[in-house]
Structure 1
Amino acid sequence: MLSPAQADQYATQFLEAREQAKQMRPFPANAKISVEDAYFIARQIQAQRLAAGEVQIGRKIAFANQTLLKKYGRNAPIQGLVWTPLFSSTVRYLEETHVVQSLTGAVQPRLAPEIIFKLGTTPAPDASLTELADCLEWMAHGMEIVVCPFPRWEFNTADAIAAFGFHGSLLIGEPHQLASTTRHNLGGILGNTAVSLSCDSTLLSAGFGSNLLESPLHALWHLQQLLKNQPESTTLQAGEIVCTGTWTDLPQIKAGQTWSSAFSGASLAGLSISFV
């Protein structure tokens, strides 16, 4: 187990790499950084950001998409869902379905189409899937710019946790208020929905809500179970937004491209983003 001083030192290194938009090496094997150590570092990062005046508004889930676990493990497959705090400084609410977004400072950026939930009430730690759905206020489609400080996007699970879950920034489309009937069927609706990603009008990627542990709602439930086993972390709270994970693989993006998303199976509007 890392000492507080060691965790704080690692936290500072990750924060400096992010601020300076530079790459860094993953944890060396002889450092023996466990998943628990990585979450300790993440809490130190969280503490430093809060002390600097940032405002935490929710959580970001990474690796809920089961089709990606084997692809991204450096020495072993990614172990499964992880999470990181989400701060207001990296979230942008969109007023239009087509926007321009800068990639300045984004290291090795890729794109992730996701579903975002906002919790209207606090769920019980042992809430069932249905009870968790009843706590939702709205859902929205979001496009997350994911970034990676590690060369060639090669990392292990602990690296991913400490590196902000690879969160760069999040663009959130129009929120849809959820009626009670929709909440009760939300897992099935989203699990049977597909999304496509196009770059400059050419279809390049597609995925399904069912890739996320059956649906984004199921991913949210799995996050709540994970938090129950992390006594140092609070469980989900009213008012939080949760970015539930990418539906597709993570295509590389660069300035000059326009990427757009489209859904089938659910009445969700897609987004179009021109990167500069």
Structure 2
Amino acid sequence: MLMSTQINRYAHQLLDARAEARLLPPLTSDFALTPDDAYDIARRIHDVRVAEGEALVGRKIGFVNRTVWPKNAQDPTVHAPIWSPLFDRTVIYAEDNAAVISLKGIMQPRIEPEIVFRLAKTPATDCTLDELADCIEWMAHGVEINSCPFPDWQFKTADAIAAFGLHGKLIIGEPRVVSAQTRRHLATMMMGVSVSLSSDGSLRSAGFGSDILNSPVHALWHLHQMLNNQNRFAPLAAGEIITTGAWTDAKPAEPGQIWQTAFSGIALDGMTLELVE
């Protein structure tokens, strides 16, 4: 367990590195950091950001794609999701599912397609998967730009938790209201959906909803369960947006590229993003 002085020191190291777009050694290279320690650091970072005027708008779930687990973090223990707070200053809504996105301040950027939910109702602590799905107001396609402060993307799970969940920016496409009938079958429906990720006209990766802990709705349920066991954080609440994790492995991104996504099996438009400095 970390002392409060250590929590503060690590939190400010990460905040300073983010502000200066500066790489730093993994925290685990200095201390045998556990995921629980890392969430203490994340909580301290959360408090600092709120005090500086940022608004919490939701959560980001990471490490949900079973096909990617063996590649993550050079850490054989990566076999379960993590999460991090999501703040207003890093969320962008893409009009007509297209946007020009600056990579300024993002370290070693990588890009990945996701599904985003917004909650209309606060879920009960002991809700079932179906009851949780019934809390969803809308869904949207999202693209996350990851930012990693650790050289060559070498880190352990605890490092990722502490370092903002490796979050850089979230771009959200046109929201689609989810009807009551669709909510009843949403988890099953999402299992059969696929997405492609292309850059400059070349297919770079593809993935399936079933890779996301069976579906993005299942990923949302796992987040709900995690928060039930982390009393240092507030539970999910109405009005939050949750980005539910990468459908593909995250691909290196750089200014000058144009990235496109396309879905099959669901009425969601893909997205076109032009990356600039």
TM-score past 0.5 threshold: yes
Match of 1:115 in 2: 115
> Is residue 256 of structure 1 aligned with residue 256 of structure 2?
yes
Pairing of 1:1-276 with structure 2 (within 5 A):
1-29=1-29, 31-276=31-276
Q: Structure 1 residues 250, 89: CA separation in 2 closer, same or farther (over 3 Å shift)?
A: same
SS of 2:252's equivalent? coil
- Alignment TM-score, normalising by the size of structure 1: 0.98
**For 1:130-169, what per-residue CA distance to the aligned partner results, in whole angstroms no more than 9, with x for missing partners?**
0001101000001110110111111111001001001000
* Cα distance in structure 1, aligned partners of 2:174 and 2:98: 12
**For 1:158-188, what per-residue CA distance to the aligned partner results, in whole angstroms no more than 9, with x for missing partners?**
0010010010001100000010011011111
Indicate the RMSD between aligned Cα atoms, in angstroms.
Answer: 1.0
Query: How much does 1:263 deviate?
Result: 0.4
Query: How much does 1:28 deviate?
Result: 3.7
Q: Structure 1 residues 184, 158: CA separation in 2 closer, same or farther (over 3 Å shift)?
A: same
Query: How much does 1:29 deviate?
Result: 4.6
Q: What percentage of aligned pairs have identical amino acids?
A: 50
Q: Structure 1 residues 84, 264: CA separation in 2 closer, same or farther (over 3 Å shift)?
A: same
SS of 1:96's equivalent? helix
Partner amino acid, structure 1, of 2:23? Q
Query: How much does 1:229 deviate?
Result: 1.1
* Cα distance in structure 1, aligned partners of 2:105 and 2:73: 25
Partner amino acid, structure 2, of 1:208? F
- In structure 1, stretches of 5+ residues that fail to align are none
Partner amino acid, structure 2, of 1:203? L
Q: Say if 1:76 and 1:156, in contact at 8 Å, map to a contact too.
A: no
**For 1:190-215, what per-residue CA distance to the aligned partner results, in whole angstroms no more than 9, with x for missing partners?**
11000001111111110011111000
Q: Say if 2:73 and 2:153, in contact at 8 Å, map to a contact too.
A: no
- Range with greater deviation from structure 2 (103-112 or 25-34): 25-34
Partner amino acid, structure 2, of 1:82? I
Partner amino acid, structure 2, of 1:40? D
Partner amino acid, structure 1, of 2:129? L
Partner amino acid, structure 2, of 1:275? L
Query: How much does 1:31 deviate?
Result: 1.1
SS of 1:117's equivalent? strand
* Cα distance in structure 1, aligned partners of 2:98 and 2:240: 25
* Structure 1 segments (4+ residues) deviating >6 Å: none
Query: How much does 1:75 deviate?
Result: 4.2
- In structure 2, stretches of 5+ residues that fail to align are none
* Cα distance in structure 2, aligned partners of 1:245 and 1:30: 29
**For 1:90-143, what per-residue CA distance to the aligned partner results, in whole angstroms no more than 9, with x for missing partners?**
001111222211111111000010000000000011110100011010000011
* Cα distance in structure 1, aligned partners of 2:73 and 2:269: 33
* Cα distance in structure 2, aligned partners of 1:77 and 1:149: 21
- Alignment TM-score, normalising by the size of structure 2: 0.97
Query: How much does 1:74 deviate?
Result: 2.6
